Amino acid sequence: MRPLDGIFVLDFSTLLPGPMATLLLAEAGAEVVKIERPGAGEDMRAYAPRWGADSVNFAMLNRGKKSVALDLKDPAQRTKLDPLGARADVIVEQFRPGVMARLGLDYDSVVKINPRIIYCSITGYGQNGPKRDVAGHDLNYIGDAGLLALSMGGADKPVVPPALIADIAGGAYPAVMNILLALAERARTGKGRYLDVAMTDNLFPFMYWALGEGLAAVEWPANGENLVTGGTACYRLYPTRDGKVLAAAPIEQKFWDNFCAIVALEPRFAADRFSPETAARVAEIVRSQDAAYWEARFRGKDCCCSIVKSAQVAISDPHFAARGLFAHKLANEQGAVIAALPVPVDRAFRAPTDTPVAAPALGAHNADYIE
């Protein structure tokens, strides 16, 4: 048995945060039923690139779930959800505050028929506060929390982060964490709980060091000027001669000493790894050689340095193959198979890897749940 075998989840969410959260629950054994609008289904189905009938994004995030197509605005259809709400262990929704209440599907309505329900709402700014109804996306959330300002490039060429930090780290992961905590609490008390997951709120732990510097030392970090945002020579990205990039992170003194020896950094620069002059000199040295030269020089040395890899190269890394990271497979309705999205659920808790698993076709499970 897997840890969440027997747990029944109703998923009203779309796009990334909620679907990622319920994917993790499904991979751990939960029965997850997506409630989608008839005709088009959730928005992610239509994204590019397509992989079979739906987008590969949808397939990645909804592997192993069930789909029920139902018009939530139609009271007659909505009543078909009552038996599912009564037996559900978990509900995940991602609408703006108030939407589920207007549909009669909010926590206060569901808890009357199911006092054991764990009801998780994921929003950008939470269920209360001046911004509760403000529309936003990941870039807005990390901007409002102050996270983006710590490292966003220069004003002449600002850099958009490569990951949807708020959606995943501020939304999906805290949702799963709190759902599991609530399940543990319910096992003890017999009662469910309402969970208000605000993606912007959950970004502040990522700035623990910035908050510490600002609140205690009254030295608020500026854009790209601190230890872990590229403001030092010992935690920085250095271009190589052939246009690739060295990720250098020799923060501790022993690693810095090794690094300086490998790149033959002059003692007067090596003595101060926090000065702009040192960073400029290291950049000059690294740019004098190709990436392959530096990769060979750093191999087997303790100095926390590596050449930045593309995603295409990274997935072929023998290290990840040895760990079985891409052993689970994703299928589509045409029989095509690719690697499934790796998720942070221990392999011991997941299903065997020998059978590819697909995302559901729209409404494929209506007969099983509401008809």
Catalytic residue among 11, 54, 138, 167: 167
The answer to whether residue 167 is catalytic is: yes
Domains and CATH numbers, the chain: 8-199+325-369 (3.40.50.10540), 236-313 (3.30.1540.10)
Of the pLDDT bands very low, low, confident and very high (cuts 50, 70, 90), residue 371 is: confident
Could you report the per-residue pLDDT of 136-190, keeping only the tens digit for each? Answer: 999 999 999 999 999 999 889 999 999 999 999 999 999 999 999 999 999 999 9
In this structure, what DSSP letter does residue 170 have? I
Tokens of 20: 């990622």
Compute and round to an integer the Cα radius of gyration of the chain: 24
pLDDT of residue 202: 98
The per-residue pLDDT for range 255-268, each reduced to its tens digit, is 999 999 999 999 99
Characterize the bridge pairing of strands 66-69 and 236-239.
unpaired
Q: Given this model, what pLDDT does residue 38 score?
A: 97
Q: How many residues does the chain have?
A: 371
Among residues 19, 17, 9, 8, the alpha carbon closest in space to that of 41 is found at: 19
